[in-house]
With several copies, the nearest count.
Chain A
């Protein structure tokens, strides 16, 4: 492994900026968007991007226990995967208790269709969503996003940056397209038609 990143960090004009980015990331409470990093570092976005590349080289799997990741619309440090065992002895996983099927279906609906209301979730799943929504709110995986426009409008929910972090998504755009799941609409329709046609056969 070469020592280039380390030497660069101590000698080129980008070094100081890279160290500033490291400092910001190590104290931040949530992933920092590029713009926030640039504003705090009081430098321009292009230079901060270059500094992030240096930081990323220095903090990558196998080189460091600290790994830079692009997640939830920003940049953040996490523990290297090789240290997962040690981490699990000391810390809870962000989603320690496994999520129920109801919770995962509700998350999927809110992630794809959000912001959406509890009645909408109920309608899609065909069962009451109250307890599940309360549970996801408590875990911080969904959050309120205003109310429906109608009078007495229901509260709308969206997924949170924590959701993106837990699922390792740089943004919601990384979710597979909903259409890619659509193959079955035809099957269902066909099956229903088969039922209707059976008598004639």
Chain B
């Protein structure tokens, strides 16, 4: 299912977590049939669009905090995709499905639950605000109050130097500023995998990750799922954490693929 078919108004969601939470809780949507990759990309597009409209047409790069939020999100969503991917595997899927969901999925559930609580707390605040609409109080000083004197205690000038040093200390977190490319386009990996399979019939996904960063790996995985969705490849994994084998789809197996998908 493509994003367009879902008729999701992305602007109506606060962020990818909000969207995912809605999808997860919405019983009638079968996650296995959702084009999660499409949703992620659409959301990134949406963020880019927001950035463009806020900063003018010349600046359309994602802000760094956006990037970090999305990078983390991609890693988390890959856990969800992992679950989803298992539904697309043909042979081993039944066995895999019985296994404990792994840590990453657990983390995703935890994060979604934390976000859910935040939303409920926000809803509580909203209703509170409505109840309090008829409570007026003075903002600012009283009209005829006595003059105020608020003496400031003497301070050591060393405190100024210390404050400036705080401002001159770079943050600890590794800067992502060097990632000039920001998000590698999904299409880049789709093309790469296609050309790989033009030369041979299969490859191991891990072998292609090489020097890729975590975010790039996540995008590569999305590209892989996209190819699966487009029915161009078969994705196989003998056991959890075993190498993921990608095979060029041949005609004999496409019927098995179709039945596995609709199961």
Contacts and interface: CB of A to CB of B under 8 A. Distances in A.
Do chains A and B directly touch (beta carbons under 8 Å) in the complex?
A: yes
Interface of A: 23, 26-31, 69, 71, 76-79, 81, 83-84, 87-88, 91-99, 101-102, 104-105, 107-109, 111-112, 118-119, 122-131, 139, 141, 147, 150-154, 162, 165-169, 174-176, 178, 180-182, 184-185, 187-189, 191-193, 195-200
Nearest to B128: A167
Contact of B160 (A29, A84, A111): A111
B147 interface: yes
Contacts of B171: 150-154, 195, 198-200
Nearest to B79: A192
A197 B163 CA distance: 18
B133 interface: yes
B244 interface: no
A127 B121 contact: no
A92 B142 CA distance: 15
A126 B25 contact: no
A77 B118 contact: no
B93 interface: yes
Interface residues of B, number: 102
B143 interface: yes
A97 B148 CA distance: 13
Interface stretch (B106-114, B179-187, B204-212, B227-235): B106-114
B25 A191 contact: yes
Nearest to A110: B160
Interface string B159-184: 11111111111111101010000000
A81 B158 CA distance: 45
A125 B32 contact: no
B9 interface: no
A193 B105 CA distance: 9
Interface in B1-46: 14-18, 21, 24-25, 30-32
A64 to B, nearest CB: 14
Contacts of A127: 14-17, 47, 66, 69
A88 B146 contact: yes
21 contacts: A77-B138, A107-B125, A108-B121, A109-B118, A111-B121, A112-B121, A112-B164, A123-B72, A125-B15, A150-B171, A151-B170, A162-B152, A166-B153, A167-B157, A168-B156, A176-B161, A185-B116, A191-B25, A195-B171, A198-B170, A200-B63
Contacts of A182: 113, 117
Contact of A26 (B31, B121, B138): B138
B169 A152 contact: yes
B132 A168 contact: yes
Contacts of A191: 24-25, 168
Contacts of B72: 123, 126
B138 A29 contact: yes
Contacts of B54: 131
Contact of A93 (B84, B133, B154): B133
A25 B84 CA distance: 62
